[in-house]
A and B are shown apart, each in its own frame.
Chain A
Amino acid sequence: MPYVIAAACVDIMDRSCMDECPVDCIYEGSRKLYINPLECIDCGACEPACPVEAISQDRAVPAGQEQFVDDNLRFFEDVLPGRDEALGQPGGASDIGPIGIDTDFVKQFKRAD
């Protein structure tokens, strides 16, 4: 799995990363953004764009935040609350706009600060 957005994005959602992504694969939940691991091309353009350093390669997520790796995948592979089917590979975030829903993990996530 390629790049991952972790805890620092929750309730921040700066969205600078969305402008940088050449394949438009960063989708907007309610409390955080999610990189579609099925669409991400591992270019790394998003990582320096994030002002709160929420983005890292899956193999380098901050200690204690490993759950965000699988959770990013769940956002696309599981059926989110209130939706009829999994998002899968929509082929671009700008076409479908904000999803406005989070995974259960993020919904219940409490920021340390």
Chain B
Amino acid sequence: MSIDYSEKIPNNVDLAGDRKLQRALESWQPNFLDWWKTMGPAVPTEDVYLRTAVDVGQEGWAHFGHVAMEEYRWGVFLSERNPDRRIAFGEQKGEPVWQQVPGEYRADLQRLIVIQGDTEPASVEQQRRLGETAPSLYDLRNLFQVNVEEGRHLWAMVYLLHAYFGRNGREEAEALLQRNSGDLDSPRILGAFNEETPDWLSFYMFTYFTDRDGKYQLGTLKESAFDPLSRTCEFMLKEEAHHMFVGTTGIDRVVTRTCELMREHDTVDIAPHGGIPLDVLQKYVNFHYSVSLDLFGSEQSTNAANYFTAGLKGRWQEERRGDDHRLTDDSASIVVVRDGQMGTDEVSALLALNLDLQGEYVKDCENGLKRWNRVIEKAGIETPLYLPHVGFNREVGLFAEHHVTPAGRLVGTDAWEAERDRWLPSDADRAHVQSLMRPVYEPGKIAGWVAPPVSGINGRPFDYEYVHLT
């Protein structure tokens, strides 16, 4: 079903056929726009070259053009329905998927949707001021594209809350606009979404490591027996791909520029030459990777087991797996810390589902590191980047009570505190990165700490005027 743009809220869910729901969402819309004006991008613009969803099918789904940000058409888009779709896992495997929320799963499904929904506006808030220091108009445009699509993902979750969860759902939808990233009294639900994104290196790291967590979370919700949630997440994944593009190629470009400066000045200390040293990049990797690992929840989780058994949340690529999709007789190995040593325990595979997802994510991240290390190696530099141990700097899960070095060694609090600034960005590192953040708004120009992209957006050149500032 194509998207109806003649409606106040563009949608492909026949909102006009449900006046009550339409009115409810139309009454939420001004609150969303108020939130966007208050908490959205701080840099005033005339218009931005943005991608807007125009369909959900395979025959081209997006339109590109200059759009005034406040006139962006946020809406409700679900992937096409498969009338034959059946539950792929859990106790009810093989039964038809649900078009309504079963009463016994109402609270759990609502919680899953609220948690996912809470992350969407959070990142917009975290990135609010980044436009003031954009390294190029190309990057500024990419930031705004990420922001408007996170806003649309909020709409996606709010639609589900309004359409399927009654008054409780409407109240939760309001609350999504009331909590704010980093707010002491009313913070966002998950820790990573209360961290600051104070500079563009953090933004690239966030869109690589944290948005990649989003890929995996949405991938598991796409498997859900609750079909509207599944279809919503399937379409969100399409948009999320751009965010990962921004992160992957953003870090590519920083690594490239760092290597260029190292070769040019024949030194690792390129800070005085306006670059970001490799050891600082490594610390940013350590921070963003470890904070993002926390988003997967505890490695051993009864909630995850219950969600799976009930059919609410599957595994990554559930339908392509070759097991029985019930896992009641399977086991998994998890790392535990016992008597000051790391060891392993065998637990039910159902209890280790968060670890299963985390493992998939880690393999993706390893690919990223290989990619950046190819750039480093090609430049003839022998200091590769690496991923720290999964227990490093964790605040959630089996390692939360322990200090683990990037190499995977358990250490005491004193040793941790003594070495902390060697492993995580120090105040001095952050201050240096911040000192490089100066806006470059001239088409075709770019800041000195990052390389230009290999190509522009939608076939446009790098020097295209992607953003018209006011």
Contacts and interface: CB of A to CB of B under 8 A. Distances in A.
Contacts of B368: 42
B320 A56 contact: yes
A1 interface: yes
B237 A41 contact: no
B367 A44 contact: no
B244 A43 contact: yes
Contact of B237 (A2, A45, A56, A60): A45
Interface string B309-344: 000000001001000000000000000000000000
Nearest to A3: B367
A92 B455 contact: yes
B454 A42 contact: no
Interface string A1-32: 11000000000000010011011100000000
Contacts of B363: 57, 59
A101 interface: no
Contacts of B238: 20, 45
Nearest to A56: B320
Contacts of A59: 363
Contact of B241 (A20, A38, A91, A92): A20
B249 A41 contact: yes
Contact of A91 (B215, B248, B367, B455): B455
B150 interface: no
Contact of A44 (B237, B242, B374): B237
Interface in A42-83: 42-45, 48-49, 51, 53, 56-57, 59-60
Given A60-B317, A60-B320, A38 B374 contact: yes
B459 interface: yes
Contacts of A23: 245, 249
Interface residues of A, number: 25
Q: Is the interface of A mostly helix, strand, loop or mixed?
A: loop
**Candidate in A2, A56, A92 with the most chain B CB atoms within 10 angstroms:** A2
Contacts of B421: none
B178 to A, nearest CB: 32
A94 B459 contact: yes
**Candidate in B219, B238, B240, B459 with the most chain A CB atoms within 10 angstroms:** B238
A7 B393 CA distance: 42
B213 to A, nearest CB: 13
Contacts of B242: 22
A48 B320 contact: no
Contacts of A38: 371, 374
Assign chain B's interface to a size class. Answer: 20 to 34
A23 B458 CA distance: 9
B364 interface: yes
A92 B371 CA distance: 17
B58 A43 contact: no
B241 A2 contact: no
A93 to B, nearest CB: 11
B172 interface: no
A25 B249 CA distance: 13
Contact of B60 (A19, A43, A92): A19
Nearest to B317: A60
A24 B453 CA distance: 14
B234 interface: yes
A96 B248 CA distance: 23
Contacts of A16: 58
A37 B90 CA distance: 35
A75 B39 CA distance: 47
Contacts of A45: 237-238, 241
Given A1-B367, A16-B58, A49-B58, A42 B244 contact: yes
Contacts of A20: 238, 241
A41 B455 contact: no
B215 A44 contact: yes
Given A1-B367, A2-B367, A42-B364, A22 B241 contact: yes
Contacts of A42: 212, 244, 248, 364, 367-368
Interface in B224-240: 234, 237-238, 240
Nearest to B239: A45
Nearest to B252: A41
Contacts of B245: 22-23, 41, 43
Contacts of A49: 58
Contacts of B219: 44
A58 to B, nearest CB: 8
Nearest to B58: A16
B241 A43 contact: yes
A48 B253 CA distance: 28
11 contacts: A20-B238, A22-B241, A22-B245, A42-B212, A42-B368, A43-B215, A43-B241, A44-B237, A51-B58, A91-B455, A92-B455
Given A38-B374, A57-B363, 9 more contacts: A16-B58, A22-B242, A24-B455, A43-B240, A43-B245, A44-B241, A49-B58, A59-B363, A60-B317
